[in-house]
């Protein structure tokens, strides 16, 4: 059974997004509204007043307005939305990649908060919280009856403030009382390890810290494996929902020596922004394989598309999500923020992946475990109601199964990538030839 997870140190990150941040007013102004538009707004005002006056129970004015705004925005596409002040703050926390908290990954089970794992060297780990613990009370208040998000919100808070947890632990004859002092939790956007002679790096999200975390991963791998022994790297972008556009560009640039990484094109045909790679390949030209699946979206697709088109990496896995739009976050002061789709992005070959996705150079399917068989785990932009139809979107649409086994020994896509790097398998797509890069003319 699939469980809904929440990261107490990260939260649910932004959805599938490539985002840019704008401070102040948008650079262009809208056309003046015509008389028909004002007539429609008058109708809205009339309906709003009738609902307030005659609905069977007194409605909340703030909720009515927020829902009306979101109704307008979601009618445009699935990724435009209004965030109230609290939601906008959560978004800023998530993109920053650090905040005051405990440092535990949790889920909801049997109406209690279950600890999946405490993160090393965080307040929760130091206080003695263990994987498998159930949190029954938070500061004396029962967890039963709370949603997972409510419970997570109660555990977050200002740095250096204490929180009391009542824990139920298997084998303990009575509840355990722990006091944990909140601290700054820095979310690791990049997880990495050495697989004998291969460097493995998994980017979980594109926050403000992603590029720095990637550089640290590369440096550490280089120190652990001599250059003459290192066969290459695997960059795992599976289940990565996206994040900040500038971080996607920086991550791509880490592996590229030249070429256009991505371009964005807005409403005005003249509104084209191009991002180019700078000289210098941080892994010294070592072979690189990128893993993608139906959970690879937006910012992660920018990276995969750039490395694929420029023939710097071989992409292995299944069709990616297919979200080729960019959302601009426009702050509205104390009223929150507007997330608005303002551009589409294009890979170096000039192709839009909107509603299509990244097609891997080598398709490797990952079988589902018995408990998930029969379920539709396919994820794709083309399945979203009201999505912007892509220029290259076909009848087959985008996306594929979004599943990665928890154990590397069961991960056929990762195993295949490692076999390619070690020469145990061969394929015409590996290694790619940079001289045959596919560029937009």
pLDDT digits (tens, 9 = 90+) for 327-383: 999 999 999 999 999 999 999 999 999 999 999 999 999 999 888 888 878 889 999
pLDDT at 31: 63
Choosing from 209, 323, 351, 356, which is the catalytic residue? 323
pLDDT at 23: 46
CA distance 98 to 100: 7
pLDDT at 248: 97
Q: Where are the domains of the chain?
A: 98-186, 190-436
Which of the pair, 93 or 392, is modelled with greater confidence? 392
Q: Is the pLDDT of residue 5 over 60?
A: no
DSSP code at position 336: -
Q: Is the pLDDT of residue 13 over 80?
A: no
**Over the stretch 284-321, which tens digit does the pLDDT of each residue have?**
999 999 999 999 999 999 999 999 999 999 999 999 99
Q: Describe the strand order of the beta sheet including 198-203 as a list of residue ranges.
A: 190-195, 198-203, 232-236, 288-292, 314-317, 362-363
Choosing from 298, 300, 325, 400, which is the catalytic residue? 298
8 A C-beta contact, residue 325 and residue 344: yes
> Average of pLDDT values for 31-39?
79
Q: How much of the chain, in percent, has pLDDT values that exceed 70?
A: 93
CA distance 273 to 342: 12
CA distance 432 to 315: 10
Q: Is the pLDDT of residue 25 over 70?
A: no
In which residue are the tokens 């250096």 written? 160
Choosing from 309, 351, 352, 356, which is the catalytic residue? 309
Q: Per-residue confidence at 10, pLDDT binned at 50, 70, 90?
A: very low
Q: Is the pLDDT of residue 94 over 80?
A: no
Q: Is the pLDDT of residue 91 over 60?
A: yes
pLDDT at 30: 56
Q: Is 35 a catalytic residue?
A: no
Bridge partners of 184?
100
Q: Per-residue confidence at 16, pLDDT binned at 50, 70, 90?
A: low
Q: Which H or E element spans position 422?
A: helix 412-422
Q: Of 45-54, 159-168, 224-233, 367-376, where does mean pLDDT reach its minimum?
A: 367-376
pLDDT at 14: 39
Task: Please report how the helices 210-224 and 245-255 are oriented relative to each other, as an axis angle in degrees rounded to 10.
Answer: 30
Q: Is 298 a catalytic residue?
A: yes
> In the CATH scheme, what is the code of domain 190-436?
3.90.226.10
Q: Is the pLDDT of residue 4 over 50?
A: no
> Average of pLDDT values for 198-219?
96
Taking phi over 0 as left and psi of -120 to 50 as alpha, with beta for the rest, 355 belongs to left
> Average of pLDDT values for 263-286?
95
3-state secondary structure of 4: coil
Both tokens assigned to 363: 């398709």
Q: Of 27-31, 262-266, 356-360, where does mean pLDDT reach its minimum?
A: 27-31
In which residue are the tokens 């507007």 written? 338
H-state helical runs in 202-294: 210-224, 245-255
> Average of pLDDT values for 192-211?
95
For the chain, the average pLDDT equals: 89
pLDDT at 380: 93
Full DSSP string of 116-165: EEEPTTSHHHHHT--TT-EEEEETTEE-TT--HHHHHHHH---TT-EEEE
> In the CATH scheme, what is the code of domain 98-186?
2.30.42.10
Both tokens assigned to 89: 């703050």
CA distance 94 to 84: 15
> Average of pLDDT values for 168-186?
91
Q: Is the pLDDT of residue 38 over 80?
A: yes
| Burial class of 343 by CB neighbour count within 10 A (0 to 12, 13 to 18, 19+) | buried
CA distance 340 to 354: 16
**DSSP-derived pairing of the beta strands 162-168 and 325-331:** unpaired
Give counts: helices (H), strands (E), the chain. 9, 24
pLDDT at 9: 29
* Of residues 252, 237, 318, 329, the one with CA closest to residue 18: 329
Q: Is 296 a catalytic residue?
A: no
**Over the stretch 113-151, which tens digit does the pLDDT of each residue have?**
999 888 778 899 999 999 889 999 999 999 998 888 888
């Amino acid at each position: 059974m699939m469980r809904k997870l929440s990261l107490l140190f990260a939260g649910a990150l932004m959805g599938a997004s490539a985002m840019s941040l704008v401070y102040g007013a948008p650079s262009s102004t809208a056309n003046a509204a015509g008389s028909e538009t004002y007539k429609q707004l008058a109708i809205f005002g009339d309906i709003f007043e009738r609902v307030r006056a005659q609905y069977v129970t007194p409605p909340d004015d703030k909720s009515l307005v927020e829902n009306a705004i979101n109704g307008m925005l979601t009618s445009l596409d699935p990724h435009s939305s209004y965030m109230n002040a609290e939601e906008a703050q959560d978004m800023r926390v998530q993109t920053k990649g650090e905040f005051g908290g405990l440092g535990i990954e949790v889920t909801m089970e049997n109406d209690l908060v279950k600890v999946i794992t405490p993160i090393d060297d965080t307040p929760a780990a130091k206080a003695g919280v263990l994987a498998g613990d159930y949190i029954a009370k938070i500061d004396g208040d029962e967890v039963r009856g709370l949603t997972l998000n409510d419970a997570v919100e109660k555990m977050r808070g200002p740095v250096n403030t204490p929180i009391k947890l009542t824990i139920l632990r298997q084998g303990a004859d009575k509840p355990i009382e722990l006091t944990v002092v909140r601290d700054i939790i820095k979310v690791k956007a990049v997880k990495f390890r050495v697989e004998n002679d291969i460097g493995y790096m998994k980017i979980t999200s594109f926050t403000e810290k992603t590029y720095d975390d990637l550089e640290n991963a590369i440096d550490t791998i280089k120190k652990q494996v001599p250059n003459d022994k290192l066969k290459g790297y695997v960059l795992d972008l599976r289940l990565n929902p996206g994040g900040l556009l500038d971080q996607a560009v920086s991550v791509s640039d880490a592996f590229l020596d030249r070429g256009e990484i991505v371009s964005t094109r807005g409403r005005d045909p003249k509104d084209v922004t191009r991002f180019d790679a700078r000289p210098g390949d941080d892994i010294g030209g070592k072979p690189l394989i990128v893993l993608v699946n139906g959970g690879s979206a937006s910012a992660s697709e920018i990276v995969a598309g750039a490395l694929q088109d420029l023939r710097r990496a071989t992409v292995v896995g299944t069709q990616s999500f297919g979200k080729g739009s960019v959302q601009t976050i426009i702050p509205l002061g104390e009223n929150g923020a507007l997330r608005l789709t303002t551009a589409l992005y294009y890979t170096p070959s000039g192709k839009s992946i909107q509603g299509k996705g990244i097609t891997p150079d080598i398709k490797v399917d990952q079988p589902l475990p018995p408990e998930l068989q029969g379920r539709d785990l396919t994820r794709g932009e083309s399945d979203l109601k009201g999505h912007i139809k892509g220029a290259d979107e076909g009848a087959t649409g985008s996306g594929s199964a979004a599943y990665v086994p928890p154990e590397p020994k069961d991960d056929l896509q990762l195993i295949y990538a490692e076999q390619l790097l070690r020469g145990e398998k061969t394929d015409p797509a590996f290694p790619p030839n940079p001289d045959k890069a596919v560029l937009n003319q």
